[in-house]
Amino acid sequence: MFSAAIPYQGGAGHCNENWVEYWVKLFADHGFECFDLLRLPYWNEAAIRSYYRQNVLILAKGAAAKTLRDKGHAPSPNAPSLIHPEQYLKSIGRALPPEMAQVGADVRHYYDCVTKSPAEVDANPDRRSYGVEGVGFGAIRKFLAKP
């Protein structure tokens, strides 16, 4: 089992943040096959940290790889980099000026979208609305222009 941070993920002690494709190729150069068995089945499992759900791969060679193939698991030589919405929101939150960052509410809204119906999400008075207020370059310029 292998996990490595993607670029700009942040965290303690990361010395080589890189994309999944980089790691899959690096390990393949040493005879390992990638089996992307865990990310999607656990994608919305909030009890597991989002960066593991986003980054964890099984890399195996020799008898271990054969065992996985014999059990019906196909290698994933082109496993893609995936950005979990929670990680994305945290990265955006670090990049925005403090007054514009509402990461906690954004993360809660994401999990509401995963676990509730659209009607339940829309009925919540604290529902996050996107596109109502610009959070792009214009909003940042407005923020920077404050006295």
pLDDT digits (tens, 9 = 90+) for 108-127: 778 888 888 888 878 877 66
Give the pLDDT confidence score for residue 136 in this predicted structure: 54
pLDDT of residue 68 exceeding 70: yes
Burial per residue of 136-147, b for 16 or more beta-carbon CB atoms within 10 angstroms, e otherwise: eeeeeeeeeeee
35/101: higher pLDDT: 35
pLDDT digits (tens, 9 = 90+) for 73-93: 999 999 999 999 888 888 877
pTM here is: 0.73
The residue among 44, 40, 70, 65 whose CA lies nearest residue 55 is 40
